[in-house]
Structure formats: structure tokens, C-alpha cells
Amino acid sequence: MPTTELGISEEALQEMETVLGNDVRLFRINTLKIGQETLAERAGINVRTLRNLESGHGTSLRTFLAVLRAMERQSWLRQLIPDSALPPKMIVHEVKQPKRVSKPRKE
């Protein structure tokens, strides 16, 4: 069975895509109570692209993010990020000020 560099089987990846797509579909239907056409329009994607996402038939990360934003569910991504992780722009490296170096006195 083919696996990725991290040792995850293609079958497991497909299952994850299917589960995520199904979660999006159920949220759209049960919570938002809107059709695929409406969500696709809000996300700025084609209806066929949304169908592919919801059925687990592959999508890009950009498409997935656009759909989450259109559903106002970016918070779902926070569950994937540890609490201690900060966005790259928020990381501040402590800069140590160089100690003042004095030249030896000439006598």
C-alpha cells in the first residue's frame, strides 16, 4: 500500500478528506441551512469544486480555507494549532544588545 513521506497511507488520507468534506456538508445543511450554490458563491468557487470537497474527491487547501471563511468557521483551524503556537508575524526574537566594547587606553 503506497504511503506518504510521513508514513500515512493513501487510504488514510482519502478517509480524512472524506470525513472533512462530510463535516462541511453537514454543517452547510444542518446549521447554515443553505444550498451548495449559495456556499460556493460566498466562497468564490465553482459549485463543482464544492461538490468535490464535500464528497472527499480532492480539493486544494486554498479552496478549503475559502469555504471555511465563507461559513465563518476559521476557528475550526485553531483546533489543529497548539495553543502555544503563534502566527509567524507574532513571533518576536529577543535581540540582545551588544555590550559596549571599549578600546584599550593608549598611555
Largest CA distance in the chain: 87
Q: Is residue 36 part of a domain?
A: yes
Is residue 106 situated within a structural domain? Answer: no
Per-residue model confidence (pLDDT) at position 82: 63
Residue 4, in any domain of the structure: no
Q: Which of 42, 33, 37 is nearest to 68 (CA)?
A: 42
In a domain, 55, yes or no: yes
Whether residue 26 is contained in a domain is answered as yes
Residues 6+ away with beta carbon under 8 Å from 58: 17, 52
How many domains is the chain partitioned into structurally? 1
Under DSSP, the state recorded for 90 is: G
Q: Which residue has the higher pLDDT, 55 or 13?
A: 55
Does 87 reside within a domain? no
Structural domain includes residue 95: no
Query: Is 1 within a domain?
Result: no
Rounded mean pLDDT of 10-15?
88
Tell me how far apart the alpha carbons of residues 29 and 88 are, in angstroms, rounded to a whole number. 35
Alpha-carbon distance of 47 to 13, in angstroms, equals: 23
For residue 19, what is the domain's CATH number? 1.10.260.40
Residue numbers of the domain that contains 36: 10-82
> Which residue in the block uniquely carries the three cell numbers 503506497?
2
pLDDT tens by residue, 27-82: 999 999 999 999 999 999 999 999 999 999 988 999 999 999 999 998 887 777 66
| Cell numbers for 98 | 551588544
Q: Are 40 and 49 in contact (CB under 8 A)?
A: yes
